[in-house]
Structures are given as structure tokens and as C-alpha cells.
Structure 1
């Protein structure tokens, strides 16, 4: 099984267009790599690819990866899109795929599907351009994506305010555990995580590779910079640093390889020479960049 990181930054990318924070300024000066917004592609054979989340940068991300280029006329290796939630940062890219005349296959929970139809109206708009086949994702149930490749979604609890429609507890945010059925290799994609609950620990435990929420280094990161009034946890993301942060908690889960994704533009781990970056690497964990490929 292969995974390609198409975009490794949180919403807005890095640097963010309207931000002059120290990290954005450093990236603009060349001290860090620019990154597009969060999305990955997964394949069992390097021929058929499944997109997890469709970011606003999806066209640029597809063009940057030859594996997703059309092979003949309008024949594309993109088999389907899986969504972890209904956030615009993860779903608005669907509109950029509207030229899919044969239609798009979309995997999403009923809660996410309802939000995109009746809340934001995004899917109603997309359906005016191309057919959309929705397959319901039920947390805890196995899904066969392709011969030899399966996945299972799991609920990710959050108190983050929803912008479209009523908040629900079940299926609003999910992570995915992907399995190579030939080798037994497992990979977990979890770009949003407010707390490392016992249920989430069970889903992560012992996987070969974990791509996990790395939004903020400190819980009060954006508050200290005067950019927002909410902490990382209040925005739905467990910070990396601190006694109860992910850097302290994840090593106990016996994961083969841990890679931080979905970094906010303010996060200093985006900079190669930052002490925070060294702390991550000294712990044996990694920081994703656009274009990173992982084989499990």
C-alpha cells in the first residue's frame, strides 16, 4: 500500500495569504518549505488512487503528482474521494473536480453527506455539473475500496462548533484505518484530533504508520500571536507540546512510524532549523511535507 501526501498544511496553507506571523515570514524567506492544504492519496497498486479529502488546492496537488495524471483522454486514476468531515478545507476541492463527466464516487458518513447537501449546499452545486454517487461510511464497519485494500472509519470526538447545520456526535468527524489485506500492513490517517481518547488509542495502537494532527505546537499558539481568541483544543486540535500533548502521549502506542500532518501556518515545526522541529525529530517522529510518499 502506498500513500502520497498531497498537502501537509492546515486550512490556508503555509504561508497563509493574509498572515505575517514569524513562521509565515520565515517560510516566505526560504527557511521552510511552502505547503498546500491537507489531503492524501492512497493506492494498493500505484495505479488506482483514492483521495482522502479534497482541498482547495486539489488541482495543483494532482498536477504535482504524475500518478494522478490522466492516462488516455479523460480516463483518470482517481477512483474515489473519502471525506473525514465536511470542513470547507477538506471538501471544497470537490467543486474543482466537477469536470468528471462520468461522475464522482464519494465516501462520507451520513452526517457529513447531510451537511454538504443541506448545510453548505456544496454537493447540490456539484451535482449540477456531474453525477455524484454517495456511499455511506459507517464508523466501525469495514469498506472494500479495491482488491487488497480496505478501510474502516472511526469516530473522532470534537466540541468544535459546526458552521453548517446542527452539531451531531456520530460521524461528524472521522479518521480512517487503511489495511493492505495482502500483507496485513495498516495505516491510520487522522488529520483532526481534539483529544487522544481510549477509543482513539485503540484505533491507532500498533499500526505500521500514523499520519496525525499536527495543527499547533502550543495550545495557546495563535492566542499568543494575537491572531485568534481560541486555543488549539478549542479549535478541535490536540497540541503537540505539553504534558498532555501528542508528543508526550503517542510514543506509548507502539506505532511503527508517526508523521505529523495538517500543520497550521503558525506552527514552528514547519521550519527546518526550529528547536520545535528538532524536538519532534529527536522523539523519532516526522513532519510531513507535500510530496512525501509512504509505503506500508
Structure 2
């Protein structure tokens, strides 16, 4: 199984267009070693020919153009088979509208996410005016074959984040995906949004070969410290990396071959390659995703 990180930043990308925080200034000025990043999404394939997207960011067109394996062939036939959504956040779904020229779109989403995108944001109602959308309901804990020896199991990721759209139901608002190469039995877990690493969520990480995990903020009060917002990382549905109970404390001892932070906010100092926070992460065996990172599992 192959996976490609199409985008590794949180909503807004890096740098964010309206932000002059220290990290955004550094990447614009070139004053410290760091790389710009687009908004998070990955592509997964069992054979390097048929590809599945996990989330569709607003940067999806440029991301697909940067990856030749996703380029079209035979007129407008493309290797893209389907999109799997972890939630209904705008930075994970606005890219669906950029796929409107397709002949049809297969979309895997929970009923809660589907309802939000239809009745809350109206995104799917708009998209459906341009191309047929085939909705495949995602049922947590059910094994689903994607063909060619690739399958997934979604699992519920509890969140108390206030919903802006939709019914606000508890179940299925956020899910993670465990993707398995059925020939080798090796698995990848994709978790770009985690508010709390509960026992049930932790169990989904067992025996996976590669984990892509929520790396949104370094500190829980990061945005408050910078004077950019009045919410903590947990308020926004994300477990911070540092501090007691932070994700680094949980992840560093896990016997997983590759542990990678993704969905990294523009304010997070791990984006700076010479930062002590970046060094602390890498010394404890966790990588920092960048756009274009490719992993064979």
C-alpha cells in the first residue's frame, strides 16, 4: 500500500493568508528553515494505479497536479476512485466542489457528515447540480472493501467541538480511518482531528504500521498566547502535542514503525525545522509531515 501526503497543514495552510505570527513571518521572509504547506489531505492506493482521497481540501487541484499518479489518462478518465471524509469541516470538504467536472463522484461519509453537507452547508446540493454524487454511508466498525486488496474500517472519534452547521448529533461527526492492505495485513491509521485519545480510539492504533495523527497545535493555549483567538486547541477539537496528557506523551512509547504529525496549524513551532519543539518531536520518534511525503506501507 502507498500513501501520499497531498497537504499537511491545518485549515488556512501555511502561511495563512491573514496571519503574521512568528512562523508565518519566517516562511514568508525565509528567515528560518521551513516550508510552505497546503491544507491537509492524503491519497492512498493498493497498486499505485487506483487512488482514494481522504478529505478534499480547498487546495485539491494544485495538490493533484503536483502528483503525476493522479493525472488523467484516456481523455478525462482519472485514477481517482472515491473520496473518504473524516468530518464536514470546510478545510476537508471545499475541494469537493473543485471535482465538479468529473463524470461522477463516489463519496464515503457518515450519515452525520452527509446530513451536514446537504442541509447545513448545502455543499453536496451544489455539487450535485454539476455531477452525480454516489453516497456510500460510513458505518463505524464495519469493514469495507475498496477493491484490489485495500479495505478500511472507520471508527468514531468523540468531540465536544461546537458545530456550526448541521444537527449537532454526537455519533459520526468525526471519524478516523484504519486502512488495511489485505495481502500483507499491514495498516495505516489516519486521524487528522482528535480531541481526546480515548481508550476506544487508542485501541484502533494497535498493530498499525503507520499513523498520521493530529498535530494542529503545540500548546493547548497557543492561539490565546499569540493573541489570535480566544479558544484552546481542545476547544477547537484538537489534542495539543505538548504538556501533560498531550499527544506526544501518548504516541512516543507506541511501537509503530512510522508516527507522523499532520494537519499542522500555521502557528505551531514544529513547522520551523530549527525549533527546539521540532527537535523534541523528532527525538521521541515522531515525524512532521510535509506536502509530497510518500510512504510505502
TM bin (shorter chain): over 0.9
Q: Which runs of 5+ in 1 are unaligned?
A: none
Alignment of 1:234-245 (within 5 A): 234-245=235-246
SS at match of 2:4: strand
RMSD value over aligned CA atoms?
Answer: 0.7
Residue number in structure 2 paired with 1:96: 98
The 8 Å contact of residues 188 and 204 in structure 1, kept in 2 or not, is answered as yes
SS at match of 1:235: coil
SS at match of 1:170: coil
Moved more, 25-34 or 281-290: 25-34
Residue number in structure 1 paired with 2:15: 15
Residue number in structure 2 paired with 1:2: 2
> How far 1:254 sits from its partner (Å)?
2.1
The 8 Å contact of residues 252 and 286 in structure 2, kept in 1 or not, is answered as no
> How far 1:252 sits from its partner (Å)?
3.5
TM-score normalised to structure 2 length? 0.98
User: How many Å separate the matches in 2 of 1:53 and 1:206?
Assistant: 24
TM-score normalised to structure 1 length? 0.99
Alignment of 1:202-213 (within 5 A): 202-213=203-214
Residues 1:80 and 2:78 are matched in the alignment: no
Alignment of 1:1-296 (within 5 A): 1-30=1-30, 31-100=33-102, 102-296=103-297
Q: Deviations over 1:193-235 (max 9, x none)?
A: 0011000110012210000000000101010000000010111
Moved more, 13-22 or 66-75: 66-75
> How far 1:154 sits from its partner (Å)?
0.3
Equivalenced residues, count: 295
Q: Deviations over 1:165-196 (max 9, x none)?
A: 22111111000000000001110000000011
